[in-house]
Structure 1
Amino acid sequence: MGRSYDQFCPAARALDVIGGRWTLLIVRELLLGPRRYTDLVAGLPGIGPNVLAERLRELREAGILTQAKLPPPAASTVYELTELGAAMRPLVDELSRWGMRLMGLPRPGERLRLGWVLGCVRASFRPEMARGVHETYEYRVDGEAFHLRVDDGSLEVRHGPAAAPDCVLTADLWTVLAIGSRLLPVREALEGGLARLDGELDVLERAIAILGGHLEATGGRYGIVGAVGASFRPEAARGVHESYEFRVNGGALVFHAVVDDGAVEMRAGAASEPAAMLSTDLATLIRLGAGSVSLEEALARDTTSVAGDPEAGLRMAAAFGAVVSAP
């Protein structure tokens, strides 16, 4: 189990078992259900195969996880939490709630995956609003599926589709985040083609109210800023040294990107001297990011404009190709 703190203390004993690098993140993945080795590799980018194998061995020896065989037709070997491991759910949820206070703007190179968002969903759950509710909500996001079962004030979050969901929402990750954080009304997302709903709208609106506590508290700003930053194309910004400002929903959300020779830093607030500025509504920004609308189409609408040096606007479009497409 590696080095010990050699202290006869419950906290020290727990850290002897789960205090190693990657260990809690492995537990985070398994709290959503049994996972194959390849699923864990995909959900933990950056972990080395030797480290993952060692951590899985340590957790198995500590009685936190076990291996099982899925029934046919899957017939795959999976890792799943034992009763002792599953008892860590409140700990991981509380860690997520506490960690939300530390979530500033995304750092360069930071990634976001669906599975990591699900922990935030559990941490955002409002049990007082779920009394007497017995419903299952399925989300299909960027080719992946997960579902949430609300049962009279309790919540279960699992990977995969639900057997009999009360509603199914299909959208990309950033649209789901925008809806959950109340930056994008669900009706507007549906009418604009950003999302598709199978089921009753009032059921989905109830799900958003029950599940949106902490995400709503952040205003969803870091998610949207992160989406723009994730679209940055370093190869298109070599030799570029300038700032670009983004104004969303009439200035309700303002942030900017500082581009420096193929690198970018996303910052909140207005830029001091932006070379170009994109003003648009949130729905159009998301559609630009999803590639479902071109920059020319967006500019043809009253809600979108680009100000500043026209050449800088083209450089902005090239650098953030998934947000604005250069004409």
Structure 2
Amino acid sequence: MQAQARYLPVVEVPDMKKRSYEQNCTLALALDVIGDRWTLLIVRELLLGPKRYSELLKGLRGMGTNLLADRLKHLEEIGIVQRADGDEEASVKGYRLSATGQGLEEVVFAIVRWGAQMPFKFREGALSNPEWDIVAMRALFQPEHAADVDEIYQFEIEGFSYFVHVCNREIAIRTGVAEVPNLTVKTDRTTLSEMGRGASITEALSEGRLALEGSPHSAERMVSIFSRSQAGHSQQDMRPA
């Protein structure tokens, strides 16, 4: 039986005249909805799970409470964001992505992958949140390099702990500490970002910015699975201390 295509209902985007490209092009129409400054960063925050208004505001420093409230209202009206269950009181309002909003995951991931190939550097004094690395890990995951792999990688990043379970081309990420990880990575966000771009692991280890505990083979596999540029990384490069 031939599968039938499934379509989302047509959405009439409200109050878009001030920020519309006024072009009958699918890309332009989509950007009318998600192209505003901060919108995809709100999506990034909610890709980590439902969040209260105060949590969103904390992770979006510089946005301002009035703009955040306006943007959330707009995203709720067009069906990208919805209220989280049990958060009816004004002081504890929570938000989550709708099914339509979850469809933006690959959009965010594609931008992260593009950014990982660019010579961007973290800015001193800018807001830094290790939770964002979870989104990056999911985006940079290369399942073609994870066939027949069943390992757990523990990350200790600037006081924030999470672990990644890679199992036969699938990935699961949880906050906290794994019982028996195959490899533990201790570093800072800047070094982790540089590793994802293929920076020298030997240099990071020798400078004390990176510590690896566990199997050298696990370290080699982890870099292969998550780094967008593995050239020059030998097993000797990644030998844990």
Provide the aligned C-alpha RMSD in A. Answer: 3.7
What residue is the counterpart of 2:26 in the other structure?
10
Q: How far off is 1:202 after superposition?
A: 3.4
Structure with greater contact order relative to length (CA < 8 Å, sep ≥ 6): 2
Amino acid in the other structure paired with 2:16: R
Measure, in 2, the Cα distance between the counterparts of 1:87 and 1:213. Answer: 24
Aligned-partner SS, 2:84? strand
Aligned-partner SS, 1:114? coil
User: Is structure 2 residue 47 aligned with structure 1 residue 35?
Assistant: no
User: Is structure 2 residue 188 aligned with structure 1 residue 183?
Assistant: no
User: Are the counterparts in 2 of residues 66 and 80 from structure 1 also a CA contact under 8 Å?
Assistant: yes
Q: How far off is 1:211 after superposition?
A: 0.7
Match of 2:150 among 123, 134, 137: 134
User: Are the counterparts in 2 of residues 64 and 82 from structure 1 also a CA contact under 8 Å?
Assistant: yes
Closer, same or farther in 2 for the Cα pair 1:38/1:163, shift >3 Å?
A: farther
Closer, same or farther in 2 for the Cα pair 1:207/1:10, shift >3 Å?
A: same
Once the two structures are superposed, what CA deviation does each residue of 1:253-288 show, in whole Å capped at 9, x if it has no partner?
Answer: xxxxxxxxxxxxxxxxxxxxxxxxxxxxxxxxxxxx
Aligned-partner SS, 1:213? coil
Measure, in 2, the Cα distance between the counterparts of 1:16 and 1:194. Answer: 42
Measure, in 1, the Cα distance between the counterparts of 2:60 and 2:180. Answer: 29
Q: How far off is 1:47 after superposition?
A: 1.0
Measure, in 2, the Cα distance between the counterparts of 1:38 and 1:62. Answer: 22
User: Are the counterparts in 1 of residues 117 and 228 from structure 2 also a CA contact under 8 Å?
Assistant: no
Measure, in 2, the Cα distance between the counterparts of 1:166 and 1:127. Answer: 19
Q: TM-score, normalised by structure 2?
A: 0.67
What residue is the counterpart of 1:124 in the other structure?
140
Q: How does 1:176-215 map to 2 (within 5 A)?
A: 176-177=192-193, 179-180=195-196, 181-185=198-202, 188=205, 194-195=210-211, 197=213, 200-214=215-229
Highest Rg: 1 or 2? 1
Match of 2:185 among 153, 161, 169: 169
Q: TM-score, normalised by structure 1?
A: 0.52
Q: How many residues matched?
A: 210
4+ residue runs over 6 A deviation = none
Gap regions ≥5 residues in structure 1:
71-75, 220-327
Gap regions ≥5 residues in structure 2:
1-13, 87-91, 234-241
Once the two structures are superposed, what CA deviation does each residue of 1:46-93 show, in whole Å capped at 9, x if it has no partner?
Answer: 1111111111222222222223258xxxxx754222221111111111
Aligned-partner SS, 1:12? helix
User: Are the counterparts in 2 of residues 135 and 149 from structure 1 also a CA contact under 8 Å?
Assistant: yes
Measure, in 1, the Cα distance between the counterparts of 2:217 and 2:139. Answer: 23
Q: How far off is 1:26 after superposition?
A: 0.8
